[in-house]
Structure 1
């Protein structure tokens, strides 16, 4: 029944062609916001001696990928809220077809699939945009690594929002949550305001967010082939949130994933005892 339930959730998603269109339009708008509003401002802050246009494009696209990976992870849970609001979940439980836990897992799996498709589509679009400008810095190996980390971010985002949406009981609240998430993801990825310009208390908060860590790793992968004078590199990379994967990043991700899985299990146990 779990597989059928996942198929049913995905079928509902595919059936709403208008929603799919606007979800992909939102991805393009995210890219357009950078190209027409953010790009020139960031270029003006770049030091001389580097290929500023190439560097900024790669840096910003990496940040946008992290934004999409998180924001796309929330949208699929709308169906979960609709089912709960319409009491459809109880129909499955009362009929003995599914348990609360298996239903939660099914929503989660469907969300990962939907968010992965959206994020992968954006990565392809972004890569095409970069390729039009200068494809010499783009490689297949880079693309594979970016997709891998983007999907890791999707898994984290889906687990995170699976916990959050347990507290949401109406579509109106979900819509408000979506608006808040859309605004915050840009800041927490260090894209709309670069890390070096954030207040000290915000820096302490942002560095503990896995979305920022994974964005930093994707940025490191994308800008590694850009020529940057050694004198600028350490300070510039720290200010812009660029760093390689290391033990601290892995430890943070593991801790977050364990906490989120534990919360989901606890929520299912509590629901079963109600």
Structure 2
């Protein structure tokens, strides 16, 4: 399994197009903010002392979340390419158990996405401190951000792995992921503030597993900004921007959602692969 993980990492980072493609979702988010949403959002938050800093932190939290999801698309496609070239079949008839082979693909996807997400986190923190004149995260905040990012990446990797388990051709998978990538941005409230969506759509967004991780990332990045804001105004803005969902301020429920949904996605994906292989 370790050899498969190393193979996945090596092949991904040798493919420049795949590496660049992992940042496309994050780039779309930044473009939307700079050219379309930025000024209007800042203007609508005039009740706050530092509205631009809040919006910058909200935007960068979305960039981190989108990066964690979009980076899995390029890495998980290795499994589809191996299926198409019959390398995957060679692995499956080897003495290694099918579960270990699939976990090798999964953990290579997870590690690739985690590395890219950590790079984006460092860039986001530098941006907030240097350009937005914000404060550095405290050590406990950064530790929590690291843990939440790991869980979010794990959840997004499990979700993409689940989706990939249904495909055998890279062209079909690429077509589907071209839709899934932007859809995740909307379903997690990264492209449009959650509070501006219809109530029914808000419920869909709220119960989409990856939203829980991105909401926690938003909460961590904006915690210092809201510390000096009026409490009622801060609550209203947090609900509008999706920094809290349904008035929840704790971290236990979002983390539980991430962990449980990750296990479900990964479990179903492993079951689906075994089911397909038995039929063949």
Judge same fold: TM > 0.5, yes or no: yes
Q: Is the 8 A contact 1:75 1:178 kept in 2?
A: no
Correspondent of 2:255 among 228, 250, 255: 250
Q: How far 1:166 sits from its partner (Å)?
A: 0.9
Paired positions, count: 272
Q: How far 1:7 sits from its partner (Å)?
A: 1.6
Distance 1:176 1:105, change over 3 A: same
Distance 1:75 1:39, change over 3 A: same
Distance 1:41 1:157, change over 3 A: same
TM-score by structure 1 length?
Answer: 0.90
Between 151-160 and 223-232, report the one with greater CA deviation.
Answer: 223-232
Which consecutive unaligned segments of at least 5 residues does structure 1 have? none
Q: Does 1:128 align with 2:129?
A: no
Distance 1:49 1:242, change over 3 A: closer
Distance 1:51 1:215, change over 3 A: same
Q: Does 1:164 align with 2:169?
A: no
TM-score by structure 2 length?
Answer: 0.88
Equivalent position of 1:197 in the other structure: 196
Correspondent of 2:265 among 257, 260, 266: 260
Equivalent position of 1:76 in the other structure: 75
Counterpart-to-counterpart distance in 2, 1:132 and 1:23: 25
Q: Is the 8 A contact 1:71 1:182 kept in 2?
A: yes
Q: Does 1:109 align with 2:107?
A: yes
Q: Is the 8 A contact 2:72 2:157 kept in 1?
A: yes
The alignment's C-alpha RMSD in Å is: 2.1
CA-to-aligned-CA distance 1:131-189 (integer Å, 9 cap, x gap): 22245422242333323212211100111111111111211122122211221122122
Q: How far 1:109 sits from its partner (Å)?
A: 0.6
Equivalent position of 1:4 in the other structure: 3
Which consecutive unaligned segments of at least 5 residues does structure 2 have? none
Equivalent position of 1:215 in the other structure: 214
Distance 1:34 1:147, change over 3 A: farther
Counterpart-to-counterpart distance in 1, 2:174 and 2:260: 29
Distance 1:12 1:137, change over 3 A: same
Q: Is the 8 A contact 1:217 1:242 kept in 2?
A: yes
